[in-house]
Chains A and B, each alone.
Chain A
């Protein structure tokens, strides 16, 4: 409504929750496309093979790296929620949230390094 620049929204835990939600949305949009691509195999391997070779393009591989990041960050964010809701409170949560994001980025980077 009124006040600008809501400060507490910059906290690591708030960002973690927002990244979790946005990555989930992105994955939800991606998933039907993923299923349709795999469904190409229903008529034999030729169509799927053509599609897989299309994904060899650097831009697509880069996008795939992004997807790996989204999947990993959503998984780790979800684990964060499950831990908060089911185990005792930990003071080191902020650091853990940041580490989780870093791990996701590293895994996505390794993926990219291997495919290029």
Chain B
């Protein structure tokens, strides 16, 4: 019979506090199971987000013992070494209530980095043949599986220190689009990621790469953006 778990959950908004609950331990329990237990059996006023419960949607991301992670994919056995868990909302984002954050700043920066596909053809034009093993497509594919969970954004110190910084996810998406043959965003997108808050603010701490649950490498994508923007700047295609 496993002992009980002591769990501290953030309650309230920005000026809230941690409250502690006792939760029975179970085999193969995940952190999401723990949060769900509290809401169903102890305190129904707890607010939190989840959807798929199986690690494909990214909705359940929270700060667990100091690290941003997907709670449905975090086994309690792996993180509650001393029988204690501390769970808070994702950092670097405004707190709505308890464990739910406002993702709007995250998506606003996505738009600012022009992480949006810019079409170049109509249905009447011929379809491009995109070879999956072309160098550009390989680069795009290596970075494309982002599901906007916000873990990298929450982990990034530069996001924390620099309010203008777009963050790893938005910049990674911009990088994939730059490598997409069909996209017409081109120089305008390079200009968007070359100003204040753009790729050059990244200090390569690589917390994003360490913690991305999809094993993406935003640091490498951002390094690619640095090279492209530098080349474009030196050629006079973009301005500082």
A binds B: yes
Contact with A along B201-220 (1 / 0, CB 8 A): 00111110011000001011
CB interface residues, A 1-39, toward B, < 8 Å: 1-9, 11, 13-14, 17, 21
A5: contacting residue among B10, B66, B155, B207, CB under 8 A: B66
Helix, strand, loop or mixed for chain B's interface? mixed
Task: In the complex, identify which listed stretch (A54-62, A79-87, A100-108) lies at the interface while the others stay far away.
Answer: A79-87
B153 to chain A, nearest CB (A): 13
**A116 within 8 Å of B (CB atoms):** no
Task: In the complex, identify which listed stretch (B34-42, B43-51, B85-93, B174-182) lies at the interface while the others stay far away.
Answer: B85-93
Q: A3-B63, A84-B219, A84-B223 are in contact. Are A8 and B210 (CB under 8 A)?
A: yes
A69 to chain B, nearest CB (A): 21
Tally of A-B Cβ pairs under 8 angstroms: 59
Q: Which chain A residues lie closer than 8 Å to B157 at the CB level?
A: 9, 14
Q: Which chain B residues lie closer than 8 Å to A1 at the CB level?
A: 14, 91
- The complex places the Cα of A9 from the Cα of B207 at a distance, in Å, of 8
Q: A4-B86, A85-B223, A86-B223 are in contact. Are A14 and B207 (CB under 8 A)?
A: yes
Q: A84-B223, A85-B226, A85-B227 are in contact. Are A6 and B67 (CB under 8 A)?
A: yes
Q: A2-B88, A81-B204 are in contact. Are A89 and B10 (CB under 8 A)?
A: no
**B162 within 8 Å of A (CB atoms):** no
Q: When the two chains form their complex, are residues B66 and A13 in contact, meaning their CB atoms are under 8 A apart?
A: no
Q: When the two chains form their complex, are residues A2 and B89 in contact, meaning their CB atoms are under 8 A apart?
A: yes
Interface residues on B, range: 20 to 34
Q: Which chain B residues lie closer than 8 Å to A85 at the CB level?
A: 204, 223, 226-227
Interface centre among B88, B155, B223, B226 (most CB of A within 10 A): B223
- The complex places the Cα of A51 from the Cα of B211 at a distance, in Å, of 51
Interface centre among A3, A4, A17 (most CB of B within 10 A): A3
Residue of A nearest to B220 (CB): A89
A89 to chain B, nearest CB (A): 5
- The complex places the Cα of A4 from the Cα of B227 at a distance, in Å, of 36
CB interface residues, B 69-93, toward A, < 8 Å: 86, 88-89, 91
Q: When the two chains form their complex, are residues B223 and A2 in contact, meaning their CB atoms are under 8 A apart?
A: no
Supplied contacts A2-B91, A85-B223, 13 more A-B pairs, CB within 8 Å: A2-B88, A3-B91, A4-B66, A5-B65, A7-B66, A11-B206, A11-B207, A13-B205, A14-B205, A14-B206, A14-B207, A17-B204, A85-B226
Which residues of B are at the interface with A, using a C-beta cutoff of 8 A? 10, 14, 63, 65-67, 86, 88-89, 91, 155, 157, 203-207, 210-211, 217, 219-220, 223, 226-227
Q: Which 7 A-B pairs have the closest CB atoms?
A: A3-B63, A2-B88, A5-B66, A3-B88, A6-B66, A85-B223, A7-B66
